[in-house]
Amino acid sequence: MNNNSKIPRRKFLKSIAGLLVIPSIAVWIESIKTRLKINLKSKKIVLPPDLNEGIVFYDGLIVKKNGENIKIFSSTCTHLGCKINQEKNNRFVCPCHGSQFTLSGEVVKGPATKNLMQLNFTKDKKTGKIIVYAG
Amino acid sequence: MPDKQKNNSTDKLYSKLFGSTFGHIAFASFFIAAISGILLAIPFDVKDPFNSIALMLIANPAAEFIRSVHYWSAQFFLVFAVLHIWDHLRKSTEKKVKKGVWLRLTISLLAVFFVMISGFILKGDADSIQAKRILSSLLFEIPYFGKYISYSLLGNENSYQLIYVNHIATTTIFLWLIIIEHVKLVWSNLRSTLYFLTFILIASFFFPAGLHNNSDPVMKGPWYFLGLQELFHYFSYPSLVLIFFTLLIILIWRLPKLPGKIGNYSKQFIIYTAIAYIILIVIGYFFRGENWEFTSPLKNPYFTTFTTPLLTKFQNYFTDFDSNKEIKTVLGQKEGCVYCHTNSKGFTVSHSPEIIGCASCHLGNPFTIDKELAHYDMVLIPGNLGNAKLTCGNTNCHPDITDRVNNSIMTTMSGVVSVDKFVFGESDSLNKLYRVDEIGNSAADIHLKNLCASCHLSKEKEKFEPVNQLSRGGGCIACHLTYSGQAKQDLKEYLTVNKIKGINGDTLFHPGISLKVTNEHCFGCHSRSGRISTNYEGWHETQLDKSEVNSDGYRVLQDERVFKFITPDIHHQKGLECIDCHNSYELMGDGKMYAHEENQTKIRCEDCHFSNKPETITFDKMDYESLKIVRLRNLEINNRKFLITKKDSIPLINTYVVQNDSIYLIGKNTKKVFPLKTPKPVCQTVGAHNNLSCNSCHTSWSPQCVGCHTEFIPNEEGINHLTGNKTEGRWAEASGVFFAEPPTLGIVEKETASGTKKKVETFIPGMILTVDKSEFTKKKDDVIFKRLFAPAVSHTTAAKGRTCKSCHNNPVAIGYGRGKLIYKTVNGKGVWAFESTYANDENDGLPQDAWIGFLDATKLGKSTRTNARSFNLTEQKRILTVGACLTCHKENSEIMKKSLIDFDALLKQVSEKCILPEWNPGLQQK
């Protein structure tokens, strides 16, 4: 009689293992979150003060510099994350799937649907260096 | 039962063909991949994967062979794993697999694709970097966990550590365990392994795994993901594709549990999806090129720039690498070229091998030190437009410029083609856009091919030689190629005794690629047609033979045409070169296609010679290209104001305005400083001459010819200058007399915001000719006569303008042609009369050299431009009225000076002595 009310050994162990999945996932996520937080600090990109005028592809960034007038975009295509590394006929063109953006970052040809991400930056008055926060 | 029999016979067939079952072959391939992977880990450097592989290719052929074995075994593994699944579905054996095992097998599908794509990513080349980014973005699409899964599988953006661990350990161990559980074998079947090892070794030997040169513009994933890349091109929302494939995996997982009919439909669906996917792979592989645009496989750079040739060489596995020599890194990649070519000089800094290597320009295979393999598919003359996209225009260098040059008028020759087709009666428009290298085989096309089509930038330069008078085409190097004296000497040694320097301790002086564009670069093409290059230097073409020239003042060109010295352009006399006025946007084009050269040209006389306040720009507002050129030319920029062109506001980078508004121009090559002069007061007078262009007064002479005839000679061979091949029959030109005289004047009309603006411009007899097409078309009397004048800037500017009489009393200037233009009094009335030197042409009744009939409203002149024309009758009368005054009044008399301000008012005050032309009857009575 008592045997019927007992949970079989295998089923019990499986349930324990199942229960362990949830805290394992929590620990896994937590460890990555912390790792990413540490990484975020290094997402600061410093541009040299003598960066060329015009359009420069620099370390994951597209810098559009016209004297003091500076705009910085992420070079990551908004469609699937490819790195945009060229300007053709006044368009930034994604080499992987062919999306096109104007020089102001607006999407003009799909498959991308979103504009390029414009990034904030500060300029160090003393050194002239431009600090971009890319993350 | 019949099904079972069929399956058995199919199995037997496969067994005969492949020596084993698909499953065993997949396992054998996996085993070989794992073992070769262990060996590959030794030369592979996870911190710099790309260059560690490049070093294997260049200096460690044995390691590269192991890599090829790893590559091929992995490809075989994937293909046979898929075939094995198909086999399962075909035989419905999935139902025999235990529930838990089937689940793990389904999950292992993802592991198979991960182990494959991670291997691709671990190459670290341009394709791999993009693949990693795409994979990361895709994983991010998974709700909530996406970010964490992406980070766990791929790690940091700039590190390969995690993906390497997951490739060699996590997925490999997982897959091996799954295989053990599924096949119930720990090691692969020895027979299948040895059998397939043979195939893999052969494939590795003859088709080594390549490495994508980072300067290749085409970005493609591994072949098995090209179907996905094609799908992603169409889908703005990649999550849809992701959901579809997730559902497909779930369907495969649930397959054993699906009831009969639904199960069969599902299998059919999976198979059709697989077939559709294979079609997408084929499209992606063969028909997609740069920026994933549709391209013919024959023109696809993907197949022309894969840097490893198909055949490797056996002896290379035993190459002795000299460790004293350096394998340099250029543009982020290792390059084997400088291992041999150690000592080359003569480059500008930006084009030196230390900065861009050799392969950036010459292509070939940079990942080897074997001469034959390195020179495979090498481009000997980079910069020709046929290769410019991959050489000068590669993504690291000048991609935007090659596109522009391709559309520029010096490449298309659109104006020449459209006018020629118009003259031949093949087109009714003068403004159609053409590309000379795409013309067909009509009469006009063959005419162009025989006589004109060598002067365009897409003409291929084929000879090693400095740019000279006979040079044509060459793309970028048509203008940018320079040879130093030493480079010429080294070329001579190469051409005469086949001696190649720079390898065995001596120095090679390589030709340079620079901004030193000289008049010689322009001369070859521009000493023809309008002849602006020869005009500029003061040379006028004669019809003399070179044997007849025995005195100074004549010049024989390399093509043996004889030129006579007349008067050079004032700018040439002062020391200005062509490049001092012409800027990058008009020479290389601005990206747009134009119908005629004057539409692409930006510079105007008034940009440098003006009297009002200068329009300027400072360097911090300048466009990128101009600023780059300023820097490359070492021109000063700080605190300088540069002039800009009135058309399109392009900075004139070699000008500057100093504080007291003195303006200077600097010779781009010579660095000589020239003060820019403001126009003379007479040019600034507001009044009668408002509509005159600077050229109309300051052009001292223009080359002109009379009586040209063009005919087709069917029995003689001609040359097709586009291809260099022969043509059956040829078009031949016969010219009449050549003149060097002040040009004819006419009107160019331009639409502006304030209405149509008229400008008096200079014209030359562009097309007064008969074209005899009879022999070409085989139609009797198929002869065309045309009388078209062409607006032309002759580049023979004189400091002093034309005299008043040279226009107002000159029949050539007005368009009547050569002859006597006489003003006489008949019955008390002033009458103009004209006696032509040349006889009237039977085709239109006008003298052979005329543009228009003398004071004849029915015989006005047409031009090679739709917006240009001869003077109309009213305009002719106004010109001749002044001409009448000039028969008595001196040019520099006060009255004539006054006439420039308000001639009509002056006419009302004329004295009784004045006899004005008959069309002013009322006025002479005052």
Specify the long-range contacts of residues B180-184, CB closer than 8 Å, at least 24 apart.
B181/B101, B181/B104, B182/B97, B182/B101, B182/B105, B183/B23, B183/B24, B183/B27
Helix (H) or strand (E) holding B810: none
3-state secondary structure of B213: coil
- Does B138 contact A93 at a Cβ distance shorter than 8 Å? no
Say yes or no: A127 and A79 in one domain: yes
Mutate one of A86, A100, A113 to test the B interface: name it (highest B CB count within 10 A): A86
ipTM of the complex: 0.84
pLDDT tens-digit series, residues A27-77? 888 888 888 777 655 567 777 766 666 677 777 788 887 767 788 888 888
- Does A55 contact B625 at a Cβ distance shorter than 8 Å? no
Residues with Cβ < 8 Å from B444, sequence gap 6 or more? B417, B420, B421, B423, B424, B426
Say yes or no: A60 and A20 in one domain: no
Say yes or no: A7 and A49 in one domain: no
- The predicted pLDDT at position B792 comes to 92
Q: Which residue has the tokens 């005028």?
A: A53
The domain tally of chain A equals 2
For chain B, which ranges sit under pLDDT 50?
1-2, 305-311, 922-926
- Does B218 contact A110 at a Cβ distance shorter than 8 Å? no
Rg (CA), chain B: 37
Say yes or no: A26 and A64 in one domain: no
**In degrees, to the nearest 5, what angle opens at C-alpha B131 toward C-alphas B129 and B134?**
115
Say yes or no: A60 and A94 in one domain: yes
Closest CA to B333 of B51, B608, B601: B51
Helix (H) or strand (E) holding B891: none
DSSP string, B623-658: -HHHHHHHHHTT---TT-EEEE-TTTT-EEEEEEE-
- Does A95 contact B290 at a Cβ distance shorter than 8 Å? yes
Q: Which residue has the tokens 């996870």?
A: B46
Residues B122 and B118: their CA atoms lie apart, in Å, by 6
- Does A95 contact B217 at a Cβ distance shorter than 8 Å? yes
Check residue B185 and give left, alpha or beta (phi > 0: left; psi -120 to 50: alpha).
beta
Q: Which residue has the tokens 């029949």?
A: B811
Interface check for A74 against chain B (CB to CB < 8 A): the answer is no
- What are the C-alpha distances in Å from A103 to residues A45, A93, A108, B924? 21, 10, 10, 66
A6: closest CA of chain B, how far (Å): 25
Burial of A48 (0-12, 13-18, 19+ CB in 10 A): exposed
- Does A52 contact B623 at a Cβ distance shorter than 8 Å? no
pLDDT tens-digit series, residues B616-662? 998 878 887 888 888 888 888 777 889 999 998 999 999 999 876 78
Report whether B730 contacts B453 (CB < 8 A). Answer: no
Say yes or no: A36 and A57 in one domain: no
Say yes or no: A56 and A118 in one domain: yes
Say yes or no: A11 and A73 in one domain: no
- Does B236 contact A112 at a Cβ distance shorter than 8 Å? yes
> Where in chain B do CATH 1.20.810 domains reside?
1-127+158-211
Q: DSSP label at B442?
A: S
- Does A28 contact B238 at a Cβ distance shorter than 8 Å? no
A67: closest CA of chain B, how far (Å): 4
Residues B870 and B849: their CA atoms lie apart, in Å, by 14
Mutate one of B136, B235, B236 to test the A interface: name it (highest A CB count within 10 A): B236
Say yes or no: A53 and A94 in one domain: yes
Say yes or no: A27 and A50 in one domain: no
Residues B93 and B8: their CA atoms lie apart, in Å, by 13
CATH number at residue A95: 2.102.10.10
- The predicted pLDDT at position B88 comes to 79
Residues B788 and B837: their CA atoms lie apart, in Å, by 20
Say yes or no: A58 and A123 in one domain: yes
- Is the CATH number of domain B1-127+158-211 1.20.810? yes
Q: Which two tokens stand for residue B535?
A: 């005009």
Instruction: State the Cα torsion B26-B31-B36-B40 to the nearest 10°.
Output: 100
- The predicted pLDDT at position A49 comes to 66
DSSP string, B700-732: --EEEEE-EEEEEEEEEEEE-TTTS-EEEEEEE
- The predicted pLDDT at position B306 comes to 46
Interface check for A24 against chain B (CB to CB < 8 A): the answer is no
Domain that residue A114 falls in:
45-133
Q: Which residue has the tokens 């007399």?
A: B737
Q: What is the pTM of this model?
A: 0.77
Interface check for A125 against chain B (CB to CB < 8 A): the answer is no
Say yes or no: A51 and A90 in one domain: yes
Report whether B57 contacts B368 (CB < 8 A). Answer: yes
Comparing CB atoms, the residue among B148, B627, B628 nearest residue A29 is B148
Comparing CB atoms, the residue among B151, B156, B236 nearest residue A110 is B236
Comparing CB atoms, the residue among B148, B236, B624 nearest residue A32 is B148
Comparing CB atoms, the residue among A82, A86, A90 nearest residue B133 is A82
